């Protein structure tokens, strides 16, 4: 298991759902946290839940639906901390349920901006810093969704994440910076909806498997959180 005490982790989309659960679990291991949300006030609930843990906490807001908004998040992290050791690219959206032929190019672009392009923009800054510092872990939320054409922009953006992870792992193979794609499963969240199979809390501890089982999941792999329910 990686010693997390004192390390800095950025969790995008940490004001609710999966990101919030990840932040809480990281805090239990002594990890300092950068909580990201679209607005600073959205982080109040997460901060309240983190009060019992003696870790440093910072809130940095930024809309990921544009390069400018994503850059504001990046700039905030650089100004307040300067680097991250652990990066959870978790924030994402789904498209409106429509027949695939009625999904507009604008809707595709919106999904790709938030679910993929903002991830690339963030990683392009912080992964080289990890390499220079000699260590880092990056986990990007993906999805096992398939054969649902009405959700094609979402599913294709997540397929892009899987391929992107493998390509980055090849680039980083001679470093101690590793990257993983996390499939959290179908969870009851604002995004997953009330009919989902699992409570959001079940994403833990599996979401942290690359950290808790260091070396057991190969860099570049897509892994399922629910395959690691017993890692603690």
| Residue in the block written with tokens 């260091």 | 214
Residue 203: give the domain boundaries: 8-228
Q: Which residues are catalytic?
A: 154
> Residue 158: left (phi > 0), alpha (psi -120 to 50), or beta?
alpha
Please report whether residue 1 resides in a domain. Answer: no
Number of domains in the chain: 1
Scanning the structure block, which residue is given the tokens 């504001």? 72
CA distance 204 to 131: 28
pTM value is 0.93
Q: Is residue 214 part of a domain?
A: yes
Domain with 71 in it: what CATH number?
Answer: 3.40.50.720
Instruction: Determine, yes or no, domain membership for 194.
Output: yes
Q: What is the pLDDT of residue 213?
A: 92
* Secondary-structure percent of the chain, ordered helix, strand, coil, rounded to 5: 45, 15, 35
- Measured CA angle at 109 (ends 106, 65), to 5 deg: 105
Any domain includes 50: yes
Has residue 76 been placed in a domain? yes
Does residue 164 sit within a domain? yes
Q: Which of 104, 34, 112 is nearest to 66 (CA)?
A: 112
Model pLDDT, residue 66: 96
61-115 pLDDT tens trace: 999 999 999 999 999 999 999 999 999 999 999 899 999 999 999 999 999 999 9
Within-domain flag for 168: yes
pLDDT at 188: 47
Q: Which pLDDT score is estimated for 1?
A: 81
* Within a domain: 60: yes
- pLDDT for res 191: 58
10-residue mean pLDDT profile of the chain (232 residues): values are 94 93 95 96 94 96 96 97 97 92 97 97 98 98 89 94 97 97 71 60 86 93 85 62
Q: At what angle do helices 67-80 and 118-133 cross, to 10 degrees?
A: 30
């Amino acid at each position: 298991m990686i010693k997390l005490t004192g390390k800095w982790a950025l969790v995008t989309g940490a004001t609710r759902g999966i990101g919030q659960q990840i932040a809480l679990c990281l805090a239990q291991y002594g990890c300092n946290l950068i909580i990201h949300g679209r607005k600073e006030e959205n982080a109040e609930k997460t901060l309240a839940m983190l009060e019992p843990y003696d870790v440093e906490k910072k809130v940095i807001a930024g809309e990921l639906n544009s390069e400018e908004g994503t850059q504001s998040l990046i700039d905030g992290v650089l100004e307040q901390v300067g680097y991250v050791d652990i990066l959870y690219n978790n924030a994402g959206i789904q498209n409106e349920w429509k027949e695939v032929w009625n999904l507009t190019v604008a809707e595709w672009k919106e999904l790709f901006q938030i679910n993929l392009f903002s991830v690339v923009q963030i990683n392009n800054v912080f992964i080289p810093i990890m390499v220079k510092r000699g260590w880092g872990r990056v986990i990007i939320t993906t999805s096992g969704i398939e054969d649902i054409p009405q959700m094609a922009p979402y599913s294709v953006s997540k397929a892009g994440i899987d391929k992107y992870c493998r390509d980055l792992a090849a680039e980083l193979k001679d470093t101690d910076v590793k990257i993983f794609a996390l499939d959290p499963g179908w969870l009851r969240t604002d995004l997953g909806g009330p009919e989902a199979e699992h409570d959001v809390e079940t994403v833990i501890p599996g979401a942290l498997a690359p950290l808790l089982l260091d070396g057991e999941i190969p860099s570049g792999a897509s892994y399922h959180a629910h395959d690691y329910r017993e890692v603690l």
